Structure 1
């Protein structure tokens, strides 16, 4: 490896490790107690579902027939060659059982911006949902464009079908332009379950 490549890769590797540490420690829902955090996650869940239902009323029937769904709130920061996200959410099966979860994401790619978004995962089978809740790992490429501040601007998102689940994304606020290769990890929140 050349000196130039080592000089370039070392700071990038340090940035990725630092981002992972921040993500793991910062992805709890707001609130002082576990009950406060659960209430906040449930409020976020209701807001996301209400907004999606207003945009796509047929989604209400789709969720009623699905074996389960998950709602996540996530903040993504992308600075030049690295991106990082942290978030929290809940997976709910068709019997109403709730599993509170966290998420973290680290990526490498060109971009700049900060984006706050919400995501709904609709599972096609109990096995897919079980795998998501128990293993929760996904890895893939991502291309994104969003420009929104409060009620102004536009958000590019929508339905994406991946491995037996459909993902709907709502951008709350932020400006982002990025094309990254990301690793995302979803896991059970031991403190809230």
Structure 2
């Protein structure tokens, strides 16, 4: 039977169906746009982190040219900065990359304060980890690294003391360097800090 608008029941059903299809198409387009925006935002953050990390790496090379040779021979390295990133760090932390020299793959990582005694992120501080083997690099990426137990605590005499004076803190995966506004050093450094894979940027 025709309705007051001249549409049969079958015609109404077709109209409703068309509307549902149209609404579905609009929602799909919006979701695609949101997904694209998120991907674009993620890519922008990745680019920013990598750019800052590469600048930090060059700063280490300028501070001690021997580090460049060490990095070139290593299976990989990780470099972080706590300064100059423009998005959501919250102050006491920073970001960087762990680079696999063989695969050329970059993994985005975060570094943060694990004890009240440190002020990571309060000033321009950069960190460089140079790995002695592929396993140390893989463990660092997959498991993170926690110095709250006192990495470098044994740096008091002999060879360890020499490492500290040179700006390197001994940690089981290789060497770790710290660079601040006052230069390449170790004292401010890794004890109490922790590193983990950034789930939002990978």
With normalisation by structure 1, the TM-score equals: 0.60
Q: Aligned pair 1:91/2:98, yes or no?
A: yes
| Contact kept in structure 2, 1:69 and 1:122, CA below 8 Å | yes
Equivalence for 1:116: 124
- In our comparison, the structure showing a higher alpha carbon Rg is 2
- The structure with more strand, counted as a fraction of residues: 1
Could you list the structure 1 runs, at least 4 aligned residues long, displaced by more than 6 angstroms after superposition. 178-181
SS in 2 for 1:120: strand
State the alpha-carbon separation in 1 of the partners of residues 193 and 177 from structure 2.
Answer: 16
Instruction: Give a deviation string over 1:161-185, Cα, whole Å, max 9, x none.
Output: 2112211111148xxxx98995433
Equivalence for 1:39: 47
State the alpha-carbon separation in 2 of the partners of residues 130 and 110 from structure 1.
Answer: 27
Shift of residue 121, structure 1, vs aligned partner: 0.5
Q: Residues 181 and 86 of structure 1: is their aligned pair in 2 closer, same or farther, counting only changes over 3 Å? A: closer
Q: Which runs of 5+ in 1 are unaligned?
A: 1-31, 76-83, 144-155
| Contact kept in structure 2, 1:157 and 1:168, CA below 8 Å | no
Equivalence for 2:143: 135
Q: Residues 69 and 181 of structure 1: is their aligned pair in 2 closer, same or farther, counting only changes over 3 Å? A: closer
Q: Residues 171 and 126 of structure 1: is their aligned pair in 2 closer, same or farther, counting only changes over 3 Å? A: same
With normalisation by structure 2, the TM-score equals: 0.57
Q: Aligned pair 1:126/2:134, yes or no?
A: yes
Q: CA RMSD in A?
A: 3.3
SS in 2 for 1:129: helix
- The structure with more helix, counted as a fraction of residues: 2
